[in-house]
Chain A
Amino acid sequence: MNIRGAIAILKNELQRFFRTAFGSILSPVLTTSLYIVVFGAAIGGRMDPSLFGGATYGAFLVPGLIMLTLLSESTSNASFGIYMPKFTGAIYELLSAPVGVAETIIGFVGAAAMKSLIIAGIILLTARVFVDYSIAHPLLAIGYIVLVAAAFALFGFILGLWADGFEKLQIVPMLILMPLTFLGGTFYSIEMLAEPWRTVAQFNPIFYLINGLRWTFTGSSDVPIGIAFGFTLAFLALCVAIIAWIFRTGWRLRE
């Protein structure tokens, strides 16, 4: 294994991120802060805490918004990170270098996950300014956040390899990920939904992710934590398997 190679890619990707740090950090932090202020503080004060397991709506919202950020940032960072060299042609170097699937995952996916973790961390801190929340299981919360960031960075990496145009790069996050996250209980508990929507919501994979994280924050959620963790791990394993296959066959990489 070419550890220096993996570190070089990781450093290069992070450095690219910090080069545009102002925009890439500020914009998700601002968006999320707006959600918290508008929904959490302005509207949330009028909501009955019993709907959210006794927590305030603001505190209920925080893990959902963290998940929203993690999913979109991990996916877009990783997909963009690998799509750009494909687009500019700079990928030739990666393909001609003694770099295999492990180094590539550590470098590109690791950097993308780290970026979204940095942003998630900043949002967690910023949210504290507006909302009084607590974390019931801090270690599990950190572990879960890292797991989700890694899984969706892997997913984004696949997306970036698959995309052969900027449109495709946007389509999955915009048309699938974002709606599923909104419908997966970022802003509400499915207890609040009437049938058949309550049943339909349970087919949304993101629903389990959001509720897994919510459990680590509030200690209660719509689904058992084991299912949420198991689901995330399975998704991560699936993504790793797909990437390994891509590297073995050279699909969308080698002609």
Chain B
Amino acid sequence: MVTKTPETILDIRGLEKTYKGGVQALAGVDLQIRKGEIFALLGPNGAGKTTLIGSVCGLVNPTGGTITAFGSDIRSNWREARRRIGLVPQELSFDMFDKVIRQVRYSRGMFGCAPDEARIEEVLRSLSLWDKRNEPIRKLSGGMKRRVMIAKALSHEPDLLFLDEPTAGVDVELRRDMWKQIEALRERGTTIILTTHYIEEAEEIADRVGVINKGQILLTDDKAAIMAQLGRTEAVFELAHPMSEIPAAIASYPVVLEDDGRKLVYRGGDGTGQGKRDVAELAQDLTRNGIAFTGLDAHESSLEEIFVGLLEDRQEEAA
């Protein structure tokens, strides 16, 4: 099958990093990022997310493997690669006493771009920082400070943008706002790689998702494919009268009794909506068979559950 494969903007092969103390943060990472996509890298603390980003951005010296960005090796062509890559690290780190606009101009200059006040204004406006441009950064709120970090990274118009936990410690409203920003960037053609703890975030904005644990990529796939493959629906019927066994009429469903027969629990489906349909039919069947229930709590498994399940599976395999 030959399909037109999207252009690979970043190609990581066999990337390894062992820190001086002997801690292996990356144990042979292979990862290909397609031009123009939003890629979410999920993983628990210490999985190697930040080390992976650091290796691409020049903060970490990898101990093995290769990184190819925009078609050339980033070691031999580091200036060109870095000029086109932007990084928003996890920690808020800048000169707190400086003014917002000056810090953004500074970043643009450092990346070798000619001064462009129109571009600076555009970046600041898009992040709702324009009104704050002459404030010292230390006077801004936490969310605003994070936007300054993003503004700095966008000031040199990167083609590839890394966001390390972009919405950590940011309130819900601001997080939604940030997602819009990220979406807007993608529309302009920027390829985005973000790491996150919030699965909701990956679910909401990513095109593809990668799961990393213990320095290895466990899987990468389209978000929808992962959901379809691993997604489950769980529905809990609270029964009016406890049952001792499952009636034959509903035995064909993947159901179990829990809580001493007070709860009938459905676990099934595949993330494509099959589970929801099953639950609706099951509810009707219960009614038809005179089985009364006083409550129903149904939900689709999120990437978070998939992710936790995946990690558990791997741990069992390893054990």
Contacts and interface: CB of A to CB of B under 8 A. Distances in A.
Given A89-B93, A92-B93, A5 B111 contact: yes
Given A92-B87, A98-B79, A255 B60 contact: yes
A46 interface: no
Given A8-B110, A16-B95, A88-B93, A96 B82 contact: yes
B58 A96 contact: yes
B60 A254 contact: yes
Interface string A75-105: 0000000001100111011111111100000
A89 B89 contact: yes
A71 B138 CA distance: 32
A2 interface: yes
A9 B112 CA distance: 11
B282 interface: no
Given A2-B112, A8-B106, A255-B19, A92 B82 contact: no
Interface in A1-53: 2-5, 7-9, 11-12, 15-16, 19
B110 A92 contact: no
Contacts of A85: 93, 95
A250 interface: yes
Contacts of B58: 95-96, 254
B273 interface: no
B161 to A, nearest CB: 11
A90 B87 CA distance: 12
A129 B91 CA distance: 50
B113 A4 contact: yes
A2 B91 contact: no
Most A-side CB within 10 Å, residue of B78, B79, B97? B79
Contacts of B82: 96-98
Contact of B59 (A3, A16, A254): A254
Nearest to A91: B93
Nearest to A94: B110
Interface string B110-129: 11111000000000000000
A254 B61 contact: yes
B253 interface: no
Given A89-B91, A96-B82, A255 B59 contact: yes
Contacts of A16: 95, 98
B46 to A, nearest CB: 14
B255 to A, nearest CB: 52
A98 B59 contact: no
A88 B54 contact: no
A88 B60 contact: no
Interface string A219-252: 0000000000000000000000000000000100
B33 interface: no
Contacts of B228: none
Contact of B109 (A7, A19, A88): A7
Contacts of A99: 110
Contacts of A2: 79, 112
A84 B19 CA distance: 24
Given A5-B112, A15-B102, A98-B111, A92 B79 contact: no
A166 to B, nearest CB: 17
A12 B113 CA distance: 15
Interface in B52-101: 54, 57-61, 78-80, 82-83, 85, 87, 89, 91, 93-98
Interface string B187-210: 000000000000000000000000
Given A250-B61, A254-B59, A96 B87 contact: yes
A100 B114 CA distance: 18
A96 B53 CA distance: 11
A95 B59 contact: yes
Interface in B282-315: none
B57 A96 contact: yes
Given A2-B79, A8-B106, A254-B61, A92 B112 contact: no
A4 B109 contact: yes
A84 B106 CA distance: 16
B152 interface: yes
Nearest to A20: B97
A254 B20 CA distance: 12
Contacts of B272: none
- 3 closest A-B pairs by beta carbon, nearest first, are A8-B109, A89-B93, A98-B79
29 contacts: A2-B79, A4-B113, A4-B114, A8-B108, A9-B109, A9-B110, A11-B106, A12-B102, A15-B98, A16-B95, A16-B98, A19-B98, A85-B95, A88-B94, A88-B96, A89-B93, A92-B59, A93-B87, A93-B107, A95-B59, A96-B57, A96-B59, A98-B78, A98-B83, A100-B79, A254-B58, A254-B59, A255-B60, A255-B61
Given A12-B106, A97-B82, 6 more contacts: A3-B112, A11-B109, A96-B57, A97-B112, A250-B61, A255-B54
